[in-house]
Amino acid sequence: MLQGLSHQAREARSWPFEQARLLLDRITRLRLSDAERDLAAALFAQGKFAEAVQTLPALAKPVVFQCGYGASGLPHLGTFGEATRPTIVRNAFRALTEDAIPTQLIVFSDDMDGLRKIPDNVPNRAMLEEDRDKPVTSVRDPFGEHESFGAHNNARLRAFLDSFGFEYTFMSSTETYRSGRFDEVLLRILARFDAVQAIMLPTLGEERRATYSPFLPISPKSGRVLQAPTVARDVDKGTITFPDEDGTLTEVPVTGGHVKLQWRPDWAARWTALGVDFEASGKDLVDSVRVSNRIVKALGGEPPEAFHYELFMDENNTKISKSKGNGLTIEEWLRYGAPESLTYYMYQSPKSAKRLYFDVIPKATDEYLQQLDALIRKKADGDNAAQLDNPAWHVHHGDPPQKGSPVSFSLLLNLVSAADASTKDLLWAFIGRYLPGATPASEPLLDKLAGYAINYYEDFVKPAKRFRAPTDQERAAMEALVAKLRALPEGADAEAIQNEVFEVGKAAGFEPLRAWFSALYEVLLGQSQGPRFGSFVAIFGVDRTIALIERALAGELAAA
């Protein structure tokens, strides 16, 4: 699938390939000597990536992509985006290197963080209050389904990532700290305590500077993660001393899960211990990335390639938050839109802020379908270069389906509206006349879209419908349109119908002409926007459209 694409990948302009090329430069710079880099460059230029890996064993070490998950709240679509973006770059890197250099995506759950804030969208909040400040994996599950709240949220995240087919390695902060995987870097931070403090303290307010320590001890008495100062440290023993909640000076090892690092040192420690090469984060964390990069260097490591994206906003233009539960949930998007439309939305314009609310789903779905159709055409033509810059190529990891949908999502929505179709069987009765021989089995994507359209119509379109009576100008034009439709030859296609609708609007003097189409949508469908009207008539049926217009002219729709 990814073989033979390296030449086109070197020229591709889409953002994932830009990042992939930076990443390839990074690993050759860090892993190879000057002479080895020259050899690698020569082999890469010939597309001989497998030979390069064989000749230069340092290239055989996996390139590590990482994303984090805050397990103190339920997963939302922003969380899904955290895994989607590195996966997209990873796939571009695999195409660039013809899949010869191994890669790994780590999904890291910060489930050892203390539960500082109780999420708004969970039950049994009083119980969570009792467990406040304990590591999330020590907080009881308010849903009563798992051994802890952290385990519950981790399970929710993994189930969704699995359902999407993500290839990843899941890591739990609790497990990595307790297993000893972080012990070496924790001891290094202890030994270089003053260097880390010199980086962190200037970033803090005066009050916090007075007690700040990169180590957050976990109280042996209460089990809570404490914001306690380090009053003594013993590098030889690998311990720190801190005042426990009752004021007692307590000594604990920094290894084995007895402490948790503050989040920016934690980020740096994770990058260092796991050898992370690439991480994407929101633009609100730009300064934090800079600070963590400095800590990595103080620890003797090399910061990963960083990619910053804009944030997702809810319907009120407020940043979505797992603790508030605003914006969309994963399950909500998948009730109304195809999974691929969600990935497409995550891919598009990562440097621009985007609303993440229900009303973006239809547009994202139709844009995805348009890109998929274009990709299928380019693939049939053998145009690899154009394929790689098509968003649908990235959505489908370079392996798109052989066919898309012959009917747009917006058209399906309006067909559901006009036909009052409450089931897919009713909808397919219309689709079958428009596409003779088509069935749910032969058009699986269209069949899925039909189900999404019914759900979206029932929940959002139908409650907001507002029919209005036509103006005198609109009434005359619609009467003329009825005459034109009656005169159409049997079997007239969507384009011929669209031409007649267009000519009626021109003859009626609508200026601009889109006012004519807006009138059709508002009078006949009860909404301000709609599909290409000729396509709607073709699939709904000429006779039914005539009947719909006549009902509107008789005042039946506006009165309903």
Residue-averaged pLDDT of the chain: 92
Contact at 8 Å (CB) between 387 and 378?
Answer: yes
Give 389 or 383, the one with higher predicted confidence.
Answer: 389
With vertex at residue 217, the alpha carbon angle to CA 75 and CA 115, rounded to the nearest 5 degrees, is 25
Q: Is the dihedral of CA 485, 491, 494, 498 positive or negative?
A: negative
Question: Of 64, 63, 24, which Cα lies nearest the Cα of 41?
Answer: 24
Q: E strands within 52-166?
A: 63-69, 103-109
Structure confidence by residue, pLDDT tens digits, 52-96? 999 999 999 999 999 998 888 777 777 788 999 999 999 999 999
pLDDT at res. 321: 59
3-state secondary structure of 241: strand
Other C-beta atoms lying within 10 Å of the C-beta of residue 180: 12
Cα–Cα distance measured from residue 118 to residue 77, given in angstroms and rounded to the nearest whole number = 19
Q: Would you place residue 317 in the very low, low, confident or very high pLDDT band (cuts 50, 70, 90)?
A: low
Question: Of 423, 430, 494, which Cα lies nearest the Cα of 453?
Answer: 423
Report the share of the chain in percent with pLDDT over 70. 96
| Beta-carbon-side half-sphere exposure of residue 530 (alpha carbons within 13 Å) | 27
The two structure tokens encoding residue 154: 């981790």
Q: Would you place residue 354 in the very low, low, confident or very high pLDDT band (cuts 50, 70, 90)?
A: confident
Q: Would you place residue 320 in the very low, low, confident or very high pLDDT band (cuts 50, 70, 90)?
A: low
3-state secondary structure of 135: strand
Q: Would you place residue 49 in the very low, low, confident or very high pLDDT band (cuts 50, 70, 90)?
A: very high
Please state the rounded mean pLDDT for residues 403-417: 92
DSSP string, 257-321: TSEEE-HHHHHHHHHHHHT--EEEEEGGGHHHHHHHHHHHHHTT--PPEEEEEPPEE-TTS-B--
pLDDT at res. 364: 95
User: Class assignment of domain 6-181+263-313?
Assistant: alpha beta
Please state the rounded mean pLDDT for residues 509-516: 94
Q: Would you place residue 5 in the very low, low, confident or very high pLDDT band (cuts 50, 70, 90)?
A: confident
User: Class assignment of domain 472-559?
Assistant: mainly alpha
Task: Specify the residue for token string 């649908």.
Answer: 392
For the chain, the C-alpha Rg in angstroms (whole number) is 29
Q: Where are the domains of the chain?
A: 6-181+263-313, 409-464, 472-559
Q: Would you place residue 358 in the very low, low, confident or very high pLDDT band (cuts 50, 70, 90)?
A: confident
Q: Would you place residue 104 in the very low, low, confident or very high pLDDT band (cuts 50, 70, 90)?
A: very high
**Helix or strand run (H / E) with residue 115:** none
